[in-house]
Every structure is written in structure tokens, then in C-alpha cells.
């Protein structure tokens, strides 16, 4: 294709040179002479140029332009859509161009100009066709027919020119911009030669702007790169720049070297009124036309000019600082900024303000050696409580980032612009080989893959392009290629792996402003997207996460990154973890950290108990929130915090029965507990193993948590390496809208986890597809965390405190019938037996000074439900306190009063109540 394009380019240039050097006296078919030809291409050039000019006249220029357009597209690997149509249109264009020129020459007065051909500007073809067309139109419609004939010739020319060249819209726009610049060049050259200044209304003033951390090189507005490669939506990210904390240069005192007004400093020129608003701005603003200024008037004599010059010559200190705009996240203590003026002030007012600041109240007393800097009074900054991470308790400090290995210095600068353009041309060539017509309109290079945007030709089905992913990967000699449509745009995204893959490190994610200023309650650091930007997600908003991936895909490292994100952000008072690891090796390293509610669960029966306890805890939290009349855990904790600060003791009115005499309901006031509820995150590392052992119970508990636990602050992260339909059932998928898929083995597993294929084409080692809330899928490259880093963080957490376990989480649960059977033996089944069992439980609790469901269940050999009912009855009667945030209860009744529990009246109530 390139060779054909180069051949057409040579033919077009040669034809243009032959036409440019045409001489009617050179020997040709129409001229017989014995002189040597003066044409650049000799006798052949003279013959060809004479034939074209004699036949087509001025229309001979269009074949040259058509050949140049074809050569341009072929050399740039854009191809020629419908080449047969282009050739036919080009053949029809030749007589159409000659016809148009011939008609104009016949109609315009004085059209017979000097021309080498006797047939005129349109050549033989144009003159003949023009006369026939005008005669026919005038014969039928008179003068109107003449106008219609011109319009017909012009319309035919306007249709055949773009049809024969085959250029896209952006290429035509580039041609228009080039012609406009070429047309304006003589005017600019004439002005520069005469020294005429540009009008103020059209002057474009360059003023520096704050540059973002990753700026697009080109392509955001349809511009063209230096080598001609088009860029539209995406541009390759530029190398990271140092963080910009202010939009103006530092206020350093440098004397300008210019003449005339350069004897004064910029701030003095602004005060004396001799500087334009753009110059006084010192780089503020953006590209744009200079604002309109009033008509210049003769400035009055400035009586302070001599004094200002004297101050400038004698003062060694810098001038008053120019007001600067400081970044919202910059250091507010290091810089102070003056408020911008409400309206532009006159030079006299500016000078008087300067004199009043420089000279004291002494009325003309000399100023100190340097003028005192103007400092703005500190204004109360807006409070952004949710912008910072949750404040830990006074005794809690998060682990230090020094425990993590810093990212090694990388000498990789990414793909160069030339390499990206070469890859884009190669990709277009490969697509052409498979019959896919289109052009690459943009690309975006990332740390692992580069996204190329293909704009397909009309009629190209996206499903056909997506199905060629494996063939394109083979042709490009890469591991895999992922192809997907871009929602909302007429392009297809093609993700091609980079030759050198960069590693994403976990510490660099935690050092970004997006992490430190995040508003998320349970923020997770997932990695970087294909553009190299950090990706974070709030687990509290998901509200549950489903993770899938084969062995070696980076799933375990991704789970570690999520857990460490929570450990670095939240204290044990704000977040508790329940880790379920049937494989024993993955999560057991976290055993003993203060955030755990129970030791790492490795046995499937205990995992079932832990999930059932989470369901009961969810119901208990809902009752607490209903008592306090709030709707979610965030509002509940805020209310508890306010009540504790104010010292209030909230109560709730509960109906306890009816008055036997009047029949009216009787109410009691119950004091509500002020219990802080931490978030609970349940991490299940291998769901497939649990489904094999206790599928029904696990699925039922997970479904209840997925449906209701969001408002209660209980969230589930469920991972599996076998995302089949028997593990991830339809009901589980319906309640886990947020999913992450690492590399899987086939497209069926990808459809199971994501609902579409593509995960089987990932690269492994942390490469993932992230689908949040059923929305569009984002490709993310997960961070790398070594086992040594995890161990260092865990050891640091262990040194800061011991975990407070809740024994009820993994307590063995017995069936109800076994509980009743055990209570029936020697203790009675119902009635008095239940009362005797309750008495034994009370004596046990008071004697051992310990109260929990599992404790009573284990010592009395009863079922879990019976023990829980006994504990609840003790709480209602005031023997024990409600459970605190770690599940512990205090014994409120004394042991001596517990010994009197045997003394009952006839109604079963104790003679003495418990306090």
C-alpha cells in the first residue's frame, strides 16, 4: 500500500512539474519544431502537458490533486474506501471540470483571455460541452436556462470532487485551515515588512496557565499532529509535571532589561498606568483576545514618578507581592494572597495606596528599608469534614507508609509519539488485511496497554471487529488484544499491550491527592486505569463486591490491596473485619490484628456460623436504628456522637401490657443504649469451596446480607477462582452489581461474572475489568504488594493493640430439637423445666461473672437459640447490660442477690428484683 501511494505521489508531482513548465513551442503532437524542448521532463513532459491543456484547459489541475489525495491516504495507511467508485468519479471529474471552466469563459464578459490553447480555458472538451449545454438550456428556458446551466455544472463539480478524492471530514478541515493560512500569509508578510502592528482586537496574547498533572499532547479538539496523524478525543498523556501550587511565577525581584518603561519594575508600571492590562496581569488568565480598552488619552504629568524611580533605585527589598492564586490543596500557611480588586482602579488610586503603605502615618516620613508586605487577614476556611479520612481515636495511629517498599526509580518514559503513530498505522494495515475499513482517530497510552480508537467505515459491524481479537493479536505478535465498543461514541476501542509493562505500586496510590482527599467511608485502592490515573472505589456505595479470577491472575494480591486500604484508612473502632479463608494460607497472615472480630475462619462450619451471626447482627442493628429513628449506620453514629457530647439519655416508650382495671395500655420508658456501631467487612476468599460443603446455608446467608446489610454497615467481599453458574448463582449475581474480573480461562466464565466476554483476554498479574453498579466496564491494573510488605504492616498493627474477639461469631449452633431434648433430660421439658434452666443460667452468670450466648450454651449443653433467649431475658430483667461494640456485657446484679433467686413467689417472680 505504501509503495502504491509513493508511486501515485511521484506521478502527481511529475505531472504538476510538466504542467508548470509547459511551453506551447515545445515539440508535441500539435507542434512540429526542430528546437529542443524546455519542459522539465523533456519531450515526454511536453507531449503529456500539451495533451492535457489542449483537451481539459484549466481542468487539468484536478487530476493532479486527485492523485495527491490518493497518495496521501495510501501512504498513511488509511486506504481507499470503494476504490472502483473513486476511479469512476475521477474519470467523470475531468470533463466536469472542463465543462465548468468552459461555461464560465463563454458567459463572463472578456472571457477570451490569452491562453496557449485555441479552445480557451476549458480546452476542447470544455468548449464543446459548454456550448452544447448553454444552447440546449437557452433553447428550452431562455436566460433562466443559462443560470441553471451554470448551477448544474457547479453542482456536478461539487459532487465529483469529494467523491473522487475520498477524504474524511477532518482531512477536509485540515485542508481548509491550510488554505486559510496560505491566504493570510501575504497580508502578514506585508505588515511585517512595513512594521505595522497588529490590531489590539485581534492580538492573541500568550499567558501561562496552570498545567494539570497529566496534560494531553494533542487531539482534544481535532487538531493534527506534526507528522499529520489525526487526533480527536484522546491524546497521549504527557510526562508528569511537578505539582503546580500557584498560577503565577514566584515574586522574585528581577530588573527587566528593556529600555524606556523598563527602568521601572512591572508593579511600578502597573501603578503608573503605562502598562496594558495583559502586561499587568503577569500571566494570569488564558489564551484570548485582549480586552477592549477605552481610547487612549494624554496622561497627566505624574508628580510621583521621580520619587518612584528613587525608591526603586535605593530599595534592596522586593516590592509588595503580587496577588497570587494558591491551589486549594496547597500550603495555606506558607503563602498569603491578597483579594482580587473588585473593579479596575486608576493609576492615581493605585499610586496613593502604594504611598499610604510605604509611608507611615507620619505624613511624609521616610519609609523603612523595604516596604512591609501586604498580608491578608486569615478568613475562616470552609470546613470539609468529609474530605478527610475518618478521624481515628486519640490512641490510634494508622500504619506508616514507610513500612511499604517505595516504588523504584523508573527510567521508562513510555511510548514516543512516533512509535504510537507507527503502531496506529500498523493496526490500520492489519485491519485492512481482514477487510475492516476505518481509520485510527486517537490513542491513549497507559502503563500496561494502549487504547487505540477505530472509527469504522459505514456498514462495518462492531461484532465483526470484536470477533477478530485473536487474529489481530496474532498479526501484531502480542499476547492478547481486547476490543470493545466505546459507549456514546462512534468508535471501537482496541487495547493493545505495551512492549514493556510498567508495575503499579501500592504506596504511590496512597500518596495521591485523590486518596487523601477522598470522601469515601470504605475507600479501596484498586490500581490505575489505562491512562495511568489512580482508581479508587467506595465499598460502602457498592455495597458488596464480587471478585473472580484464575490462579495466578493477581486475585489474591488484589484482595490484599483492598484489606490494606481499609487498615490504612480506618481504626478498629470504625471498621471490623471477618476473614473467611477455607484455603488457610491466603488470609491467615492477618491473624491477631486489632481489626478482627474473630480469628481468621478456616473451617466451613464456622464460616456458616459467622455468616449467620452477621445476619443476626444485621437484624439487631436494624432494631437499634429503628429505636433511634435513623435510616443508615452513618446517621446512627452521628446521632450517637451528638448524644454523647450533649450528655442526653434517650428513652423509648414501649407498651408492656394493659391495666386490669381500666383496660388501657400500660407503657414503660426504656433507656436506649448509646452504642457506636463500626463497619463490618466480611471477606470470603474462596466461595467455591464453601458452596461445595454448605451451599444452601451459605447462599441463604449471603443473599440476606446482600439484600439488606448495606444500611446496617455490613459489607461482603466475595472472591472465587471458579466463576461458574453453580458457584455464582443468578440470585447472587443480582445482588452483587459491582464486580471485578481478573483473567479467566474462557469467555463463558467472563460472561458469568461480567455479563460479556473480554476477561479471558486480560494479561494477568493484576490486570482486571471493574464494573461498578452495572455501569460501563473499566480496565484497571492492580497494584503490586509483596508478602514482606503485608507482614510488616500486620506486625505494626499487632504492636499497637490486641484484638477483642467476639466469641458469638463462630459459636457452634445446634438444632432446636437437640436443645429441647437436652433440656428435657433432668431439667424438664417445658414449664417448670424452662424456669429451672433460667435459674441455672442466672446462677452461672453471676458465679463466673461472664455473660455471653456461647458461654451459657456451652456450660448448660443447650442450643444456640435457647441460650440467646436466656441472655435476652437477663438483659430485659436488668441482670446484665446490653452488649457493647465488641460484644461484651457487664454484670449489673450482685452475687448475693443472685443467691436469693431461688426464693420465688407463686407467680414466679423473685421476692427481690435485680438492679
Residues linked to residue 771 through DSSP beta bridges, in sequence order: 739, 777
| CA-based nearest residue to 614, from 574, 654, 579 | 579
Strand 714-720 relative to strand 545-548, pairing: parallel
For residue 620, the tally of other CB atoms under 10 A from its CB is: 15
Residue-wise burial string across 551-581, b where 16 or more C-beta atoms lie within 10 A, e elsewhere: eebbbbbbbbbbbbbbbbbbbbbbbbbbbbb
CB 104 within 8 A of CB 154: no
**If DSSP states are collapsed to H, E and C, what string results for 32-73?**
CCCCCCCCCCHHHHHHHHHHHHHHHHHHHHHHHHHHHHHHHH
The answer on whether 224 is annotated among ligand-binding residues is no
Which helix (H) or strand (E) segment holds residue 483: the answer is strand 482-485
Residues in CB range of 308: below 8 A, 6 or more apart = 264, 268, 271, 272, 351
* HSE value, Cβ hemisphere, 13 Å, CA-based, for 551: 2
Angle (CA) 21-25-26 rounded to 5° is 60
The answer on whether 552 is annotated among ligand-binding residues is yes
CB 430 within 8 A of CB 472: yes
The answer on whether 14 is annotated among ligand-binding residues is no
CB 590 within 8 A of CB 794: yes
What gap in Å lies between CA 464 and CA 436, rounded to an integer? 9
The answer on whether 553 is annotated among ligand-binding residues is yes
Residues in CB range of 826: below 8 A, 6 or more apart = none
The answer on whether 228 is annotated among ligand-binding residues is no
Give the SS3 label for residue 667.
Answer: strand
Rg (CA), the chain: 42
**Ramachandran quadrant class, 60 (left: phi over 0; alpha: psi -120 to 50; beta: rest):** alpha
Tell the residue number behind the cell numbers 501575504, with chain if given. 186
What gap in Å lies between CA 323 and CA 339, rounded to an integer? 7
Cα-flanking dihedrals φ and ψ of residue 2, to 5°? Answer: -65, -40
For 251, counting Cβ atoms within 10 Å of its Cβ (0-12 exposed, 13-18 middle, 19+ buried), the class is: middle
What gap in Å lies between CA 8 and CA 166, rounded to an integer? 15
| CA-based nearest residue to 81, from 463, 432, 430 | 432
The answer on whether 755 is annotated among ligand-binding residues is no
Give the SS3 label for residue 163.
Answer: helix
Residues in the chain: 915
Feature table: binding site for ATP: 549-556
Feature table: binding site: 549-556
Amino acid at each position: 500500500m505504501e509503495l502504491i501511494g509513493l508511486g501515485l505521489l511521484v506521478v502527481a508531482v511529475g505531472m504538476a512539474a510538466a504542467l508548470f513548465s509547459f511551453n506551447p513551442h515545445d515539440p508535441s503532437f500539435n507542434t512540429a519544431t526542430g528546437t529542443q524542448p524546455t519542459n522539465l521532463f523533456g519531450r515526454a513532459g511536453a507531449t503529456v502537458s500539451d495533451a492535457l491543456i489542449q483537451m481539459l484547459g484549466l481542468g487539468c489541475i484536478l487530476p493532479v490533486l486527485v492523485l495527491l489525495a490518493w497518495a496521501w491516504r495510501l501512504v498513511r495507511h488509511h486506504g481507499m474506501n470503494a476504490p472502483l467508485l473513486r476511479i469512476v468519479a475521477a474519470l467523470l471529474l475531468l470533463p466536469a471540470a472542463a465543462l465548468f471552466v468552459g461555461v464560465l469563459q463563454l458567459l463572463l464578459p472578456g472571457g477570451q483571455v490569452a491562453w496557449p490553447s485555441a479552445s480557451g480555458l476549458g480546452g476542447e472538451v470544455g468548449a464543446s460541452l459548454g456550448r452544447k449545454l448553454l444552447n440546449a438550456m437557452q433553447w428550452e428556458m431562455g436566460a433562466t436556462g443559462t443560470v441553471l446551466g451554470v448551477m448544474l455544472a457547479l453542482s456536478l463539480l461539487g459532487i465529483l470532487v469529494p467523491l473522487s478524492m475520498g477524504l474524511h471530514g477532518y482531512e477536509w478541515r485540515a485542508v481548509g485551515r491550510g488554505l486559510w493560512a496560505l491566504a493570510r500569509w501575504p497580508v502578514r508578510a506585508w505588515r511585517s515588512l512595513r512594521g505595522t502592528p497588529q490590531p489590539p482586537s485581534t492580538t492573541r496574547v500568550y499567558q501561562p496557565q496552570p498545567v494539570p498533572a497529566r496534560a494531553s499532547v494533542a487531539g482534544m479538539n481535532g487538531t493534527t499532529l506534526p507528522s499529520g496523524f489525526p487526533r480527536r478525543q484522546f491524546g497521549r498523556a504527557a510526562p508528569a509535571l511537578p505539582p503546580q501550587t500557584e498560577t503565577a511565577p514566584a515574586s522574585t525581584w528581577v530588573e527587566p532589561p528593556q529600555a524606556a518603561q523598563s527602568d521601572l519594575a512591572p508593579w511600578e508600571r502597573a501603578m503608573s498606568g503605562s502598562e496594558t492590562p495583559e502586561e499587568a496581569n503577569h500571566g494570569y488568565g488564558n489564551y484570548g483576545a485582549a480586552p477592549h480598552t477605552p481610547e487612549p488619552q494624554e496622561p497627566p504629568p505624574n508628580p510621583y514618578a521621580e520619587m518612584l524611580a528613587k525608591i526603586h533605585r535605593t530599595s534592596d527589598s522586593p516590592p509588595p507581592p503580587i496577588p497570587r492564586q494558591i491551589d486549594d490543596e496547597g500550603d495555606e500557611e506558607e503563602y498569603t494572597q491578597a483579594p482580587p480588586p473588585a473593579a479596575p482602579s486608576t493609576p492615581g488610586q493605585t499610586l496613593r495606596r502604594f504611598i499610604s503603605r510605604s509611608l507611615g502615618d507620619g505624613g511624609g516620613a521616610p519609609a523603612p528599608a523595604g516596604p512591609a508586605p501586604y498580608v491578608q487577614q486569615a478568613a475562616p476556611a470552609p470546613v470539609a469534614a468529609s474530605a478527610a479520612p475518618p478521624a481515628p481515636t486519640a490512641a490510634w495511629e494508622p500504619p506508616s507508609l514507610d513500612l511499604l517498599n517505595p516504588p523504584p526509580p523508573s527510567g521508562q518514559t513510555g511510548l514516543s509519539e512516533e512509535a504510537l503513530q507507527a503502531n496506529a498505522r500498523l493496526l490500520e494495515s492489519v485491519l485492512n488485511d481482514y477487510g475492516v475499513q476505518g481509520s485510527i482517530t486517537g490513542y491513549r497510552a497507559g502503563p500496561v496497554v494502549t487504547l487505540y480508537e477505530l472509527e469504522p467505515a459505514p456498514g462495518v459491524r462492531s461484532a465483526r471487529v470484536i470477533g477478530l481479537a485473536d487474529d489481530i493479536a496474532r498479526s501484531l505478535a502480542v499476547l492478547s488484544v481486547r476490543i470493545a465498543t466505546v459507549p456514546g461514541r462512534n468508535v471501537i476501542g482496541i487495547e493493545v499491550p505495551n512492549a514493556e509493562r510498567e508495575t503499579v505500586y501500592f504506596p504511590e496510590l496512597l500518596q495521591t491527592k485523590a486518596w487523601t482527599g477522598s470522601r469515601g467511608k470504605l475507600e479501596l485502592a484498586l490500581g490505575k486505569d489505562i491512562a495511568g490515573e489512580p482508581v479508587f472505589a467506595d465499598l460502602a456505595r457498592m455495597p458488596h463486591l464480587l471478585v473472580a479470577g484464575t490462579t495466578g491472575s493477581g486475585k489474591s494480591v488484589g484482595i490484599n490491596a483492598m484489606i490494606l486500604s481499609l487498615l490504612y484508612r480506618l481504626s478498629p473502632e470504625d471498621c471490623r473485619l471477618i476473614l473467611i479463608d477455607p484455603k488457610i494460607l491466603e488470609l491467615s497472615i492477618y491473624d491477631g490484628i486489632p481489626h478482627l472480630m474473630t480469628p481468621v475462619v478456616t473451617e466451613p462450619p464456622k464460616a456458616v456460623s459467622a455468616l449467620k451471626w452477621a445476619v443476626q447482627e444485621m437484624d439487631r442493628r436494624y432494631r437499634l436504628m429503628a429505636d433511634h429513628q435513623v435510616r443508615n449506620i452513618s446517621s446512627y453514629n452521628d446521632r450517637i456522637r451528638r448524644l454523647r457530647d450533649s450528655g442526653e439519655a434517650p428513652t423509648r416508650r414501649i407498651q408492656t401490657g394493659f391495666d386490669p382495671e381500666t383496660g388501657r395500655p400500660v407503657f414503660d420508658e426504656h433507656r436506649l443504649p448509646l452504642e457506636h456501631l463500626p463497619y463490618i467487612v466480611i471477606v470470603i476468599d474462596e466461595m467455591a469451596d464453601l458452596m461445595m460443603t454448605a451451599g444452601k446455608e451459605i447462599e441463604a446467608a449471603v443473599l440476606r446480607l446482600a439484600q439488606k446489610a448495606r444500611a446496617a454497615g455490613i459489607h461482603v467481599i466475595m472472591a472465587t477462582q471458579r466463576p461458574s453458574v453453580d458457584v455464582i448463582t443468578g440470585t447472587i449475581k443480582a445482588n452483587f452489581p459491582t464486580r471485578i474480573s481478573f483473567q479467566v480461562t474462557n469467555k463463558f466464565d467472563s460472561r458469568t461474572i461480567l455479563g460479556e466476554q473480554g476477561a479471558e483476554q486480560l494479561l494477568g498479574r493484576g490486570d482486571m475489568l471493574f464494573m461498578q453498579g452495572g455501569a460501563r466496564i473499566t480496565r484497571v491494573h492492580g497494584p503490586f504488594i509483596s508478602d514482606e510488605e503485608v507482614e510488616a504492616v500486620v506486625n505494626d498493627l499487632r504492636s499497637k493493640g490486641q484484638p477483642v474477639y467476639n466469641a458469638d461469631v463462630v459459636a457452634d449452633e445446634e438444632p432446636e430439637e437437640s436443645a429441647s431434648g437436652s433440656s428435657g433430660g433432668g431439667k424438664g421439658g417445658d414449664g417448670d423445666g424452662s424456669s429451672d434452666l433460667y435459674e441455672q443460667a442466672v446462677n452461672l452468670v453471676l458465679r463466673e461473672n461472664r455473660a455471653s450466648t456461647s458461654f451459657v450454651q456451652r456450660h448448660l449443653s443447650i442450643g444456640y437459640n435457647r441460650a440467646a433467649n436466656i441472655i435476652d431475658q437477663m438483659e430485659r430483667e436488668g441482670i446484665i447490660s446490653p452488649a457493647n461494640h465488641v460484644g461484651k456485657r457487664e454484670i449489673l446484679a450482685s452475687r448475693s442477690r443472685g443467691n436469693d433467686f431461688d426464693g420465688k413467689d407463686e407467680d414466679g417472680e423473685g421476692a427481690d428484683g435485680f438492679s
